[in-house]
Amino acid sequence: MKRKFTLIELLVVVAIIFILMGLFFPALQKGREKAKQTACMNLLRQYALATEYYTHDWEYYPDAQRYLLPETCFLSYFAKGKETVPEDIVRCPGDFRTEEYGRLGECKQGNVIVKVSVGVNGNNISDSLSWRRFGPVEQWIRPRDLKNAQPSEICLWLDYQFQLPFVNGENNPLTAPVAKMATVGSLGRYAFRHFNSMNSSFLDGHVGKVKLLKSTINYGHDFATGTSWTAGQLPSHVRIPFGARPANATMFPNGFPKSPDVSFE
208 three-class SS: strand
Q: In this predicted structure, what is the pLDDT of residue 184? A: 81
> How does pLDDT run across 126-145, given as a tens digit for each residue?
988 887 777 788 889 998 88
Q: In this predicted structure, what is the pLDDT of residue 57? A: 94
> How does pLDDT run across 17-72, given as a tens digit for each residue?
777 767 665 656 667 888 899 999 999 999 999 999 999 999 999 998 888 887 88
pLDDT band at residue 99 under the 50/70/90 scheme: very high
Angle (CA) 105-111-112 rounded to 5° is: 40
Q: In this predicted structure, what is the pLDDT of residue 242? A: 74
> How does pLDDT run across 242-255, given as a tens digit for each residue?
777 776 766 777 77
Calculate the alpha carbon distances from 206 to 18, 116, 124, 128, 157 in Å: 43, 22, 15, 25, 11
